[in-house]
Amino acid sequence: MRIACWQAACDSPTVPRLLARLREAARQAAEAGAQLLVAPEMTVGGYPLRPAALAEAAEPLDGPHGAEVARIAREHGIAVAYGWPEDDGSAVYNAVRLVSAEGGTLASYRKAHLFGEVDRSRFTPGDQGVVRVRLGDLTVGLLVCYDVEFPESVRAHALSGTQLLVVPTALMRPWDVVARTLVPARAFESQLYVAYTNWIGERGGLDFCGLTTVAAPDGTRLTLEEPVEGLLLAEIDPAVVAQARADTPYLHDRRPELYQDLPGPLG
């Protein structure tokens, strides 16, 4: 499967403008032969969300902004993974939704690990660890940004059969090491692909570093090194996953009986 990761500039943060730009990215991705477009964290609204932007963008899973994303997917015949603030009537979550090429909801996930006050002051953490679904010939899993920095989260996906882990993010400087080192390590140690899709530019006092990356389970990776808006195209091959799991059998050689009594959070 060919996928496209949309590294987006964090300007024009109004919802209509962001959706218009998402439509154009979907058009370009579909013309390039991609079957899945992955957009950054908080695609709808931008990141970080100020109170007014949060009020404009927050909606339930079946809200009008989501309906517009579904139309975009149908228009261009491409599945879309995008982020938005999910309001379920009692709490707001930092969420990602995977929409099929026909416009239906395949899966949605709420960010479980919230990063600092920029997240904790706005969102409630999700309580579901592994969300995955079949898309074509692949099992696709969902995480959001900081979630991927927890090896337990990625390993749980690997053990559940995820082959491609989709991770919309809003990684800011000086944490470039996450994209350059940690994300490829996660892909290698758990033998799956990780599609890590970021913003570029400055917003709300944060400087987003780009470095959108597709890391493969065999230790190779593709990265948008330049801080420019654009698409990163990558081929996702289930055979590469199978071969990596045969060559480096971390999942088989685990000894979970040695880890089950580990303590909880420190402090």
Residue 77 has pLDDT above 80, yes or no: yes
Residue 267 has a pLDDT of 66
Catalytic-role residue among 145, 149, 209, 229: 145
Residue 6 has a pLDDT of 98
Residue 82 has pLDDT above 80, yes or no: yes
Angstrom distance (rounded) from CA 198 to CA 7: 5
Residue 225 has pLDDT above 70, yes or no: yes
Angstrom distance (rounded) from CA 65 to CA 142: 20
- The rounded mean pLDDT for the chain is 96
- Exposure pattern of 62-82 as b/e (b: 16+ CB <10 Å)? eeebbebbbebbeebebbbbb
Catalytic-role residue among 5, 111, 149, 209: 111
Structure tokens at 14: 């109004």
* pLDDT tens, position by position, 140-149: 999 999 999 9
Residue 262 has a pLDDT of 78
Confidence label for 261 from pLDDT (cuts 50, 70 and 90): confident
For 179-201, what is the mean pLDDT? 98
Residue 122 has a pLDDT of 94
Between 138 and 267, the more confident residue is 138
Angstrom distance (rounded) from CA 141 to CA 48: 24
Between 194 and 55, the more confident residue is 194
Residue 212 has a pLDDT of 98
Please say if 5 is a catalytic residue.
Answer: no
Residue 17 has a pLDDT of 93
Catalytic-role residue among 5, 10, 41, 86: 41
Please say if 111 is a catalytic residue.
Answer: yes
DSSP state of 81: E
For 152-163, what is the mean pLDDT? 98
Tell me the domain boundaries of the chain: 2-257
Residue 11 has a pLDDT of 82
Residue 265 has pLDDT above 90, yes or no: no
Burial of 117 (0-12, 13-18, 19+ CB in 10 A): exposed
Structure tokens at 68: 């517009």
Q: Going by CATH, does the domain composed of 2-257 fall within 3.90.1300.10?
A: no
Residue 266 has a pLDDT of 73
For 74-88, what is the mean pLDDT? 98
Residue 258 has pLDDT above 90, yes or no: yes
* pLDDT tens, position by position, 44-71: 999 988 888 899 999 999 999 999 999 9
Residue 264 has a pLDDT of 79
Please say if 225 is a catalytic residue.
Answer: no
